[in-house]
């Protein structure tokens, strides 16, 4: 099976991990800060906190910003559940912004119409690795005094108007995930980057039981929290992977070019675009079928032929947990239409050109026959 995404691990990565396994600290040692510094420096920002997942990273930045019951946060329905469910866990209400059909990102023109007295936060998700139009998000946020978080779990290595995603030029914080299908991996893992020392400190506490260390054996628990710590084993892998990130992104961009060349002219599907303000890092390669009635059949056929396609995403408010909160189908028509047509094709640095050819050939024989 050719998967839709997978990690790329080389000998250097293996040696970095083995070295930690032989050292004194396999967790809570020096590699964690070293990884955080490397990430912050790559993105050109002051602080980074690494977590055991992108999900826990989202939880802690929401918590650090004070998101709570009675607050609303605006985000897209075309995302992974964690973007939304971590806010719901804190008692806040998600408000869904419909999307642009050509990028899959939230349509920033709609933001102002969704703001109420309760709105605290806008969470922009850089779908598939294409940055949201962040300067416009920031303008709206400044006008209404809102916080902005970038869920950049898809978008490490991308740029917005020449600013690295993670630089927090137009946000209070940026979240990454290091799951194996993402741009770099730590097995499981995530991080939040920020320019704010205050948010940085709060997130360090949130990561470790709400704990503040005192003298000798003493410590104080300032608020109940979780163990969201990442290990040195994971961070050693992260440091080694980060060295290869630019190369990974270049390779993804090359594969995207090839797909565009081979699929761009077909009437039976449409491709997403790269806007002039974006340097796309292609976590995913989504296509949209012209005939949405054929999506399931095409998906099943590709899977049966060894092409591990995926669908990103079922609109979040279609899930039972959201239905129970009173959300109904029909809320964001463009997002629903997008979901009904979408299929993600294989996209990862180790994907061979012959494999890409095979994906294209099998897809074409199904939809262009
Ligand atoms: C947009 C988005 N947000 C958050 C997450 C959560 O990250 P993790 O799987 O590392 O917990 C993911 C992961 O798939 C994601 O795609």
Question: Beta-strand (E) ranges in 231-304?
Answer: 269-271, 278-279, 285-289
Q: What is the pLDDT of residue 237?
A: 98
Q: How far away, in angstroms, is 126 Cα from ligand 1 center? A: 11
For residue 312, give the ligand 1 atom closest to its CA.
16
Q: What is the pLDDT of residue 368?
A: 84
- Cβ count near 357 (within 10 Å): 12
Question: Does any ligand 1 atom lie closer than 6 A to the CB of residue 174?
Answer: no
Q: How far away, in angstroms, is 29 Cα from ligand 1 center? A: 25
Q: What is the pLDDT of residue 177?
A: 98
Instruction: For the chain, give the longest Cα–Cα distance.
Output: 73
Q: What is the pLDDT of residue 174?
A: 99
For residue 79, give the ligand 1 atom closest to its CA.
1
- Give 154's DSSP letter: T
Span 188-222, pLDDT tens digits: 999 999 999 999 999 999 999 999 999 999 999 99
User: What fold does the segment set 11-242 form as a domain?
Assistant: 3.40.640
End-to-end CA distance of the chain: 23
Show the DSSP H helices in 30-133 as ranges.
30-43, 54-64, 81-89, 111-114
For residue 56, give the ligand 1 atom closest to its CA.
11
User: What fold does the segment set 245-367 form as a domain?
Assistant: 3.90.1150
CA dihedral 80, 193, 255, 263 (to 10 degrees): 40
Minimum CA distance residue for ligand 1 atom 7: 54
| Phi, psi at 37, each rounded to 5° | -65, -40
Q: Report the alpha-carbon distance of residue 32 to residue 15 in Å, rounded.
A: 17
Q: Which of 102, 104, 82, 112 is nearest to 94 (CA)?
A: 82
Q: How far away, in angstroms, is 280 Cα from ligand 1 center? A: 18
Question: Is the pTM here over 0.85, yes or no?
Answer: yes
- Cβ count near 179 (within 10 Å): 18
Buried b (16+ CB within 10 A) or exposed e, 241-274: bbebbeebbebbbebbeebeebbeebebbbbbeb
Q: What is the pLDDT of residue 121?
A: 98
Q: Report the alpha-carbon distance of residue 210 to residue 207 in Å, rounded.
A: 7
Q: How far away, in angstroms, is 12 Cα from ligand 1 center? A: 26
Cβ–Cβ < 8 Å for 255, 356:
yes
Question: Does any ligand 1 atom lie closer than 6 A to the CB of residue 50?
Answer: no
Orientation angle between helical segments 54-64 and 81-89, nearest 10 degrees: 40
Question: Does any ligand 1 atom lie closer than 6 A to the CB of residue 36?
Answer: no
For residue 190, give the ligand 1 atom closest to its CA.
10
Cβ–Cβ < 8 Å for 316, 79:
yes
Rounded to the nearest 5 degrees, what angle is found at the Cα of 175, between the Cα atoms of 330 and 29? 145
Q: Report the alpha-carbon distance of residue 5 to residue 305 in Å, rounded.
A: 17
250 in helix, strand or coil? helix
Q: How far away, in angstroms, is 367 Cα from ligand 1 center? A: 31
Q: How far away, in angstroms, is 217 Cα from ligand 1 center? A: 36
Span 96-127, pLDDT tens digits: 999 999 999 999 999 999 999 999 999 999 99
334 in helix, strand or coil? helix
Q: Report the alpha-carbon distance of residue 178 to residue 156 in Å, rounded.
A: 9
139 in helix, strand or coil? helix
Minimum CA distance residue for ligand 1 atom 14: 80
| Phi, psi at 219, each rounded to 5° | -155, 160
Q: What is the pLDDT of residue 369?
A: 66
Q: Report the alpha-carbon distance of residue 273 to residue 270 in Å, rounded.
A: 9
Buried b (16+ CB within 10 A) or exposed e, 24-48: eebeebebbeebbebbbebbebebb
For residue 57, give the ligand 1 atom closest to its CA.
11
- Residue among 75, 177, 282, 313 whose CB has most ligand 1 atoms within 8 A, to mutate: 177
Ranges of residues in the chain whose predicted pLDDT is under 50: none
Question: Does any ligand 1 atom lie closer than 6 A to the CB of residue 83?
Answer: yes
Question: Does any ligand 1 atom lie closer than 6 A to the CB of residue 106?
Answer: no
**Same fold yes or no, 11-242 and 245-367:** no
Residues 6 or more apart in contact with residue 183 via CB below 8 angstroms: 129, 156, 157, 245, 248, 249, 252, 281, 283
Question: Does any ligand 1 atom lie closer than 6 A to the CB of residue 179?
Answer: yes
Question: Does any ligand 1 atom lie closer than 6 A to the CB of residue 190?
Answer: yes
Question: What is the domain partition of the chain in residue ranges?
Answer: 11-242, 245-367
- Cβ count near 181 (within 10 Å): 17
Q: How far away, in angstroms, is 219 Cα from ligand 1 center? A: 32
């Amino acid at each position: 099976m050719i998967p839709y995404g997978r990690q790329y691990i080389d000998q250097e990565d293996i040696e970095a991990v083995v070295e930690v396994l032989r050292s004194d600290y396999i967790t809570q040692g020096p590699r964690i800060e070293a990884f955080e510094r490397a990430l912050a420096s790559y993105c050109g920002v002051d602080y980074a906190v690494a977590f055991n997942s992108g999900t826990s990273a989202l939880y802690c930045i929401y918590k650090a910003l004070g998101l709570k019951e009675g607050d609303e946060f605006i985000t897209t329905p075309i995302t992974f559940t964690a973007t939304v469910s971590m806010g719901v866990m804190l008692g806040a209400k998600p408000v869904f912004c419909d999307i642009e059909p050509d990028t899959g990102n939230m349509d920033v023109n709609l933001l102002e119409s969704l703001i109420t007295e309760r709105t605290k936060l806008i969470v922009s998700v850089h779908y598939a690795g294409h940055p949201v139009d962040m300067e416009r998000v920031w303008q709206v946020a400044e006008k209404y005094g809102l916080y902005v978080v970038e869920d950049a779990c898809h978008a490490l290595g991308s740029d917005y108007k020449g600013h690295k995603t993670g630089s927090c030029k137009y946000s209070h914080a940026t979240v990454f995930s290091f799951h194996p299908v993402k741009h770099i991996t730590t097995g499981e893992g995530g991080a939040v980057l920020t320019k704010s020392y205050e948010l940085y400190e709060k997130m360090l506490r949130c990561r470790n039981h709400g704990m503040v260390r005192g003298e000798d054996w003493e410590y104080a628990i300032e608020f109940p929290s979780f163990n969201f710590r990442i290990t040195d084993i994971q961070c050693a892998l992260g440091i080694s992977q980060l060295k290869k990130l630019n190369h990974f992104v270049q390779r993804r961009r090359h594969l995207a070019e090839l797909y565009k060349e081979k699929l761009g002219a077909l009437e039976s599907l449409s491709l997403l675009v790269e806007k002039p303000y974006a340097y796309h890092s292609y976590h995913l390669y989504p296509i949209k079928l012209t005939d949405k009635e054929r999506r399931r059949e095409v998906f099943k056929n590709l899977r049966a032929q060894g092409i591990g396609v995926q669908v990103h995403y079922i609109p979040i408010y279609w899930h039972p947990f959201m239905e129970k909160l009173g959300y109904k189908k029909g809320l964001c028509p463009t997002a629903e239409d997008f979901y009904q047509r979408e299929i993600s094709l294989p996209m990862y640095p180790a994907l061979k050109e012959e494999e890409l050819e095979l994906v294209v050939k099998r897809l074409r024989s199904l939809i262009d026959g």
